């Protein structure tokens, strides 16, 4: 006898074939939410930033794709954040992690001063986390972990203690001011051994990731690497 759950799943596949969360085509497969075309061809790859543009506490910033205002990527990242699509976040993180590993940047972060890379997703303020039910940056971080085998910090290791309002329309200086002391390290016994690999969905001015990198560096971490899915 076919178990009921399997029957339901077969039925669901007929009624709702697995479609790509990005473009809606039917080419996505089981356990894969983004079709090959969207993964490999649809978006423009972003260029990594190094050197003068970044603050001292950041060694590399790497994004997967350029943000497409009003396009498929914006919609997908919006859905990820507000429609609780955790698995999509993990898949995006996995694609990002694979791409980063293949880029030359990874050689420069593997063995610096005997520190090891540890994934640090940008934490959400407790009230936002409660409202949304999950943190999209953590989902992306879990995907990066799947691609790299690097450790990811436990939830609650770093808290976002300041609930900042929307940063839209503010420049870097205003955003930085807004975010001052936004993060608090709860446990710090691990921090001196690591290169933080900060994970987030979009890199805009960098204010949020820079503030977190600063908090970590103030407690003795190595220079951070910033990985995001999109770059605005
Ligand atoms: Zn697609």
Structure tokens at 93: 């993180």
173 and 78 co-located in one domain: yes
- Torsion angles phi and psi, residue 75, rounded to 5: -65, -45
- Structural domain that includes position 177: 44-231
Residue 129's pLDDT is what? 87
Domain membership flag for residue 168: yes
CATH of the domain at 182: 3.40.50
* Mean pLDDT value across the chain: 85
Residue 108's pLDDT is what? 60
Question: How far is Cα 100 from Cα 48, in angstroms, rounded to an integer?
Answer: 10
Domain membership flag for residue 6: no
24 and 101 co-located in one domain: no
Residue pair 94/142 in contact by the 8 Å Cβ criterion: no
162 and 117 co-located in one domain: yes
What length does the chain have?
A: 232
Q: What is the pLDDT of residues 199-228, one digit of tens each?
A: 999 998 899 999 999 999 999 999 999 999
Angle made by CA atoms 101, 104, 106, in degrees to the nearest 5: 45
- Lowest mean pLDDT, pick from 3-7, 124-128, 208-212: 3-7
Q: What is the pLDDT of residues 13-67, one digit of tens each?
A: 555 567 899 998 887 777 789 999 999 999 999 987 655 678 999 988 999 999 9
Ligand 1: distance of its center to the CA of 39 in Å? 7
97 and 159 co-located in one domain: yes
25 and 59 co-located in one domain: no
Ligand 1: distance of its center to the CA of 71 in Å? 12
Share of the chain above pLDDT 70, in %: 86
Residue 99's pLDDT is what? 93
Residue pair 162/190 in contact by the 8 Å Cβ criterion: no
Ligand 1: distance of its center to the CA of 98 in Å? 19
Cα separation values, 193 from 45, 111, 115, 116, 155, Å: 32, 11, 5, 7, 19
Ligand 1: distance of its center to the CA of 17 in Å? 14
196 and 100 co-located in one domain: yes
177 and 129 co-located in one domain: yes
């Amino acid at each position: 006898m076919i178990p009921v759950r399997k029957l339901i799943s077969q039925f669901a596949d007929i009624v709702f074939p697995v479609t790509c969360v990005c473009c809606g085509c039917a080419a996505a497969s089981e356990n894969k939410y983004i079709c090959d075309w969207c993964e490999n061809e649809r978006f423009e790859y972003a260029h990594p930033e190094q050197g003068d543009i970044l603050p001292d506490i950041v060694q590399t910033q790497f994004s997967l794709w350029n943000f497409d205002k009003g396009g498929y990527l914006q919609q997908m990242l919006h859905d990820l954040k507000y429609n609780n699509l955790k698995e999509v976040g993990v898949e995006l993180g996995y694609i990002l992690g694979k791409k980063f590993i293949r880029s030359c940047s990874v050689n420069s972060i593997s063995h610096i001063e005997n520190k090891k890379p540890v994934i640090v997703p940008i934490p959400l303020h407790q009230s936002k986390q409660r409202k949304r039910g999950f943190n999209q940056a953590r989902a992306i971080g879990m995907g990066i972990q799947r691609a790299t085998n690097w450790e990811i910090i436990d939830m609650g290791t770093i808290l976002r203690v300041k609930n900042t309002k929307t940063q839209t329309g503010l420049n870097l200086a205003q955003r930085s001011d807004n975010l001052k002391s936004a993060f608090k390290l709860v446990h710090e016994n691990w921090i001196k051994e690591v290169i933080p690999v900060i994970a987030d969905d979009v890199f805009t001015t960098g204010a949020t990731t820079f503030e977190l990198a600063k908090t970590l560096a103030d407690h003795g971490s190595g220079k951070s690497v910033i990985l995001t899915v999109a770059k605005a």
